[in-house]
Amino acid sequence: MERKILLNPGPATTTDTVKYAQIVPDICPREKEFVKLMKQIREDLVKVVHGAPEEYTSVLFCGSGTISMDVCLNSLLPAGKKVLVVNNGAYSSRAAEICNYYDLPYIDLKFSVDVLPDLGEIETVLESDPDIALVYATHNETGTGILNPIREIGALAHKYHAAFVVDTTSTYAMRPIYIKEDNIDFCMASAQKGLMAMTGVSYVIGNRKLIEESRHFPKRSYYCNLYMQYEYFEKHGEMHFTPPVQTLYALKQALKEYFEEGEEEKWDRHSRVFEAIHKELDKLGFRDVIKREWQAGLVVAVKYPEDENWDFDKIHDYCYERGFTIYPGKIGDAKTFRLCALGAIDEKDISDFFHVFREGLQEMRVKIPAVYHEVSNEEE
Ligand SMILES: *Cc1c(COP(=O)(O)O)cnc(C)c1O
């Protein structure tokens, strides 16, 4: 199979063994054999974040990553209570939008996208509003690549007796996560990101006791209710409605490869790739958006050079035709693009990519080093 290098923030580059794991004899997912597969996957998903199986469980849904955000928000809020969204980026804004669409009472606590949320401000809001029962934050804001202090935010949530939901979609199975020590009650991800599996299945990993309590909360969705899906899994060992069968075989293989590679080794590999991206960008004089020490180590949001010959679509197409996919930015009106360290790639792929990227820039007559009129972060 031709190998393509995806530098977009998911779906990620996958191994051929994961791709081919989808080719299986036809099977009805109500068979015992499939129930066994689901059981193994559910246990492994909890293991990735070091959760004790008595205390934490995982619940799968057929959908992209956003379904997990939707599920947590619509299922985990008791009647008459409020959600606090800690918002410093596009993905937490999406969470606020979900609250809005479900008519959930919520506070959208906004911070600038290029800074860490202020813990003092979060505490002030929690202190002043005892109705807040759910605090929501994003671990790695994939639009900017900033890493939020979830352990600290979680400690505050718990101090004020609120449950803590974290969108870990772009860190799960990449950056090591310890669900209990990190003060997380619920986290989430999607198979096509950290686990380097296929699109179409996503999961919530969370506190079993809190899920059981949520049976009494208002049911705001039929297909996407966490308790209903959990209860069906507990009773029958499978998803309530038809699961994405072949996608789950790929996920099983991806989990096997995850544990074979090892948590630490995998994180080292992503870090290597991330450092290589930075090194090559520095050589070309490209600038990024977020202070280096705040970056999660997975996404680099790069500023467009201020060069009349720069054209993102053109350079994108140039790279794409040569097997490399780069991705537009997601920071309001700011002119950025992204290079990500997700997937089954290593340093060599990054040097190969930058070889092509530099060639493309030269063909477009973009100046190297890249031109910026503003003073850089380092020079300030
Ligand atoms: C990718 C991602 C999602 C989910 O996006 P989908 O397009 O629905 O898969 C959610 N949150 C974060 C932080 C992400 O990176």
pLDDT exceeds 60 at position 378: no
**Ligand 1 pocket, residue 202 CB under 6 Å:** no
Cα gap 352→276, rounded to integer Å: 11
**Ligand 1 pocket, residue 168 CB under 6 Å:** no
**Ligand 1 pocket, residue 10 CB under 6 Å:** yes
**Ligand 1 pocket, residue 199 CB under 6 Å:** no
Ligand 1: centre distance to CA 69 (Å): 9
**Ligand 1 pocket, residue 143 CB under 6 Å:** no
Ligand 1: centre distance to CA 37 (Å): 25
Angle at 237 between CA 233 and CA 238, to 5 degrees: 70
Cα gap 122→167, rounded to integer Å: 17
Tokens of 92: 């937490």
Ligand 1 atom with least separation from CA of 141: 13
**For ligand 1, atom 9, which residue shows the shortest CA distance?**
65
Q: 45: Cβ–Cβ under 8 A, 6 or more apart, which residues? A: 58, 60, 203, 205, 255
pTM score of the predicted model = 0.97
* 380 pLDDT tier (thresholds 50, 70, 90): very low
pLDDT (tens digit, 9 = 90+) per residue, 117-141?
A: 999 999 999 999 999 999 999 999 9
* 379 pLDDT tier (thresholds 50, 70, 90): low
Ligand 1 atom with least separation from CA of 66: 8
